[in-house]
Amino acid sequence: MAACRVSPVPPLQWFGATYVELFRNAPLSVLMLLFVFGLTKAGVGPYSFFASAIVVLSIYTSAFLAETFRAGINTVAAGQAEAARAIGLTFPQTLGIVVFPQALRTVVGPIGNLFIALIKNSSIASVISVLELSKRSNLLIDQQGVSPIPVFLGAAVAYLILTLPSGFLVGYVERKVSIKR
Amino acid sequence: MNRPTTRGRWPLAALLLILALIAGACGGDDDEPTVGANAEPPATKPTFPQGTAMAALQTKGKLTVGTKFDQPLFGLKNPVTNKVEGFDVEIAKIVAQAIFGGTLAEAESKIEFVETVSANREPFIQEGKVDMVVATYTINNARKERVDFAGPYYIAGQDILVKSGDTSIKSVTDLNGKKVCSVTGSTSINNVKEKAPQSDISTSFGTYSLCVEALADGRVQAVTTDDIILLGFIADNPGKYQLVKAPFTTENYGIGMKRGDDAFRTFINDTLEKSYGNGAWKKAFEDTVGKSGQQAPQPPKVDRYTAGAAAGSSTTTTSTTVR
């Protein structure tokens, strides 16, 4: 998607821009409900709730990822791309071999952010009946009569167990790819 | 670039929003009673002994009834006419007719409907904000300690909604091995878990309309909750769904009123029984709930319990068992 948005072909640019604006501006819960109940009206599916949640989370997060990558690509000095084109590389080659690896370096941190957001966004899947962490916590409270505060604390810790290592991993990769200045 | 004009529209949009909110807030006050106390007395105006609630209401010329404004088929405020419509409303009209005489339409003009939600029905009765409550109000012992009930005038229960033509589910036990949808954390789910332990209740949403969507898509085979809610979906989607008609819980809907006025309660019970006999109850049902394709059932038997007996089960409420 990021490649689309920086490509020299206008239709590809429009496609990339439409995709990004559509999916990053719609609320995640609305996207999920539309995917689950809208597609069947169009004669597609039904897919399982779990698969639907994964697909929608991917579409949604990829819109944010595309914007992050685009920002990263824009930080790479224009001379790099010009030089690559000058020695005869095609646009995909320029992007893939020269620009993108340099862009990646600057966007590792923001991508880590998005990954953590993705883990937490999975709680929205409860609206389409996926038994994820939040919904299970609520069921414990509603049906087993467990008092709410310990359950919520437990859920928070469980999210931390997933997100904290992701944060550390991102920090590690960031140090690994950074240029010594 | 047309940025500046886009930005210029925002204050206008905000202003419209504020205006809309104000209009919405004011709209609620429009239903002030317009009934004059000296309305022309109809020819068949009944007479009541002095000192009874019926005589007092007749003199006042107004009956205040608490009902739901958001329950399809039973008590739903029509946003166009601003009138409350439904079976509960028709029952209230029958009672009003017995007090004031005249036609049902004339009786309706003497009723002031006040919105009661599930949580405020007892307080509204106890504080005298309403003369009676007809609001899908389940009779139970806990409530009998705070208010009195006439009726029941309808027996509801948890039932099962399936697609039209589905004959594989005939009772709650047939739900074993089937996918059932209900609202997350509702008592309806717990009831199914108890009565059909092998049913798959993993599908649940925040609202019943999503459960019905899941039923339409074939993701679940059944949706379960109180039949009156399910009937609303049948009425909204004619021909698509049907009720299994095997209720597995019992909710007796009664008319709630202030505790201790046995004369008033007997009067309303008499009125209900009369309406069972003369077809008024059946017509009330067919004009409202019946529109969902339901045949009018046999009217339930009125329960003329002694008010003290209900409170007697809990020995702590001495003040109410004195009588």
Q: pLDDT by residue (tens digit) across A102-145?
A: 888 888 888 888 888 898 888 888 888 887 788 888 777 766 76
Please give the share of chain B, as a percent, with pLDDT higher than 70.
80
Q: What is the pLDDT of residue B95?
A: 92
Residue B13 — pLDDT band, cuts 50, 70, 90? low
Q: How confident is the model at residue B167 (pLDDT cuts 50, 70, 90)?
A: confident
Is the pLDDT score of B133 beyond 90? yes
Paired sense of beta strands B63-67 and B132-133, if any: parallel
Measure in Å the smallest separation between the Cα of B307 and chain A Cα atoms. Answer: 34
Q: Per the CB < 8 Å rule, is B184 touching A49?
A: no
* pLDDT score for B17: 61
pLDDT tens per residue, chain A (181 residues)? 777 777 777 888 888 888 888 888 888 888 888 888 888 888 777 788 888 889 999 999 999 988 888 888 888 888 888 898 899 888 888 888 888 888 888 888 888 888 888 988 888 888 888 877 888 887 777 667 677 788 889 889 998 998 898 888 888 888 887 776 5
Q: What is the mean pLDDT of residues B109-133?
A: 89
CB contact under 8 A, B219 and A46: yes
Residue B25 confidence (pLDDT):
52
Verify whether the Cβ–Cβ distance B210 to A33 is below 8 Å: yes
Tell me how far apart the alpha carbons of residues B138 and B152 are, in angstroms, rounded to a whole number.
Answer: 9
Contacts of B210 in chain A (CB under 8 A): 33, 37
B192 Cα to chain A: minimum distance (Å): 13
pLDDT at A34: 87
Residue pairs spanning A and B at CB distance below 8 A: 34
Residue from B207, B213, B220, B237 to probe the interface with A (highest A Cβ count within 10 Å): B213
For residue A130, give the chain B residue with the closest CA: B203
Identify the CA nearest to B108 among candidates B81, B126, B129. Answer: B81
- How confident is the model at residue B42, as a pLDDT? 45
Supply the pLDDT for residue B9: 60
The verdict on B48 touching A (C-beta cutoff 8 Å) is no
HEC string for chain A: CHHHHHCCCHHHHHHHHHHHHHHHHCCHHHHHHHHHHHHHHCCCCCCCHHHHHHHHHHHHHHHHHHHHHHHHHHHCCHHHHHHHHHCCCCHHHHHHHHHHHHHHHHHHHHHHHHHHHHHHHHHHHHHHCCCCHHHHHHHHHHHHCCCHHHHHHHHHHHHHHHHHHHHHHHHHHHHHHCCCC
Q: Please provide the DSSP assignment of B138-184 as one string.
A: B--HHHHTTSEEEEEEEEE-EEEEEETT--S--SGGGGTTSEEEEET
Average pLDDT, chain A: 85
The predicted model gives B184-208 an average pLDDT of 82
Given a cut of 60, is residue B313 above it in pLDDT?
no
pLDDT for B215 beyond 50: yes
| CB-CB under 8 Å, B219 with A143 | no
Taking the C-alpha atoms of residue B275 and residue B96, their distance in angstroms, rounded to an integer, is 12
Q: Which residues of A touch B (CB under 8 A)?
A: 33, 37, 40, 45-46, 49, 126-129, 131, 135, 138-139, 142-143
Confidence label for B1 from pLDDT (cuts 50, 70 and 90): very low
Contact (CB<8Å) A142/B210: no
Q: Which domains does chain A have, with CATH numbers?
A: 2-177 (1.10.3720.10)
Structural domains of chain B ordered from first start: 53-156+251-321 (3.40.190.10), 158-243 (3.40.190.10)
